[in-house]
Amino acid sequence: MKPIRLFAWLVLVTLVTAACGSGTANTTVTSSTSTTTTSSTSTTSTIPPSTSTTPPPVTQDVEVFFATGDGSNCAEVTGFTRSVAADLDPLTTALDLLVLGPNAEEISSGAGSFFSAETDGAIRHVRTSEDELVVDFRDVRVALSNASTSCGSESLLAQLNGTVFQFDSIERVRYELEGSCDQFFNWLQRECVEYTRLGPEPADLSTNERALGSGCTPDSDVLGDGRWFGFVVEAEQAGVGFDLACWFEGSA
């Protein structure tokens, strides 16, 4: 009976050994991938527009035209730049500077003119109507006596026209002396004309505008100071009886 028990133990040992013997072990490794997301917050700095304003200019430039050259061309003129206050009217300011004549620096650069400090304030008024300009002078014939020559008048008109027509808004200009175009051009030994950018044109004036003197229709029976044309009808110590008339010049 002992041999049978031994065999049983051998079978048991064999089975146990088989169970614990070498074999292939499959190992599965699970890799967990961790994804890290970095959130970057971008801050944009917005610079507000500047609220400061550029101050307005305190000066402006105008040109004043004076005679230049060797005298062979009476109408030769050159513009000289002047800086004036920005709040002044550029047209009237340029004309006021013109009748003051050239300054020392401009004279050294070859500028010449009949205008000088003696003719300061020679312009009575400047008025515009649409695109036409009227420049009315005081009686400056004594101070500007040389301007009545042929070359002198051409130079004077070139200086005036150069100064006036630098402004784009002006298309036509008429010059007067004490309110009369005929009187101005009679002084210059010419016929009354108006100037455009293309040259002179006949002036279209009413009959009253062609009358010389202080006027043909005074506001009262008493004549004030002025230049009157007429006939003395009676003379007494208390006054003079005067028959007022009008004196016309120029083209009929």
pLDDT at residue number 19: 45
Domain identity same for 81 and 198:
yes
- Tokens matching residue 76: 């030769």
pLDDT band at 43 (very low <50, low <70, confident <90, very high): low
132 and 96 both lie in a single domain: yes
Residue 229, beta-bridge partner list? 245
Q: Which two tokens stand for residue 70?
A: 């060797």
Q: Is 232 among the domain residues?
A: yes
Q: Report if residue 1 sits inside a domain.
A: no
The answer to whether residue 212 is domain-embedded is yes
Please return the burial class of 167, using the count of CB atoms within 10 Å of its CB with bins 0-12, 13-18 and 19+.
middle
Pairing, β 211-212 against β 199-202: unpaired
Separation of alpha carbons 69 and 114, rounded Å: 15
Q: Are 181 and 203 in contact (CB under 8 A)?
A: yes
Over residues 178-196, the pLDDT tens digits come to 999 989 998 998 989 999 9
pLDDT at 229: 73
DSSP 162: H
Alpha-carbon span 71 to 215, nearest angstrom: 39
In a domain, 70, yes or no: yes
The number of distinct structural domains making up the chain is 2
> Residue 232's pLDDT band (boundaries 50, 70, 90)?
confident
* pLDDT confidence bin for 210, thresholds 50/70/90: low
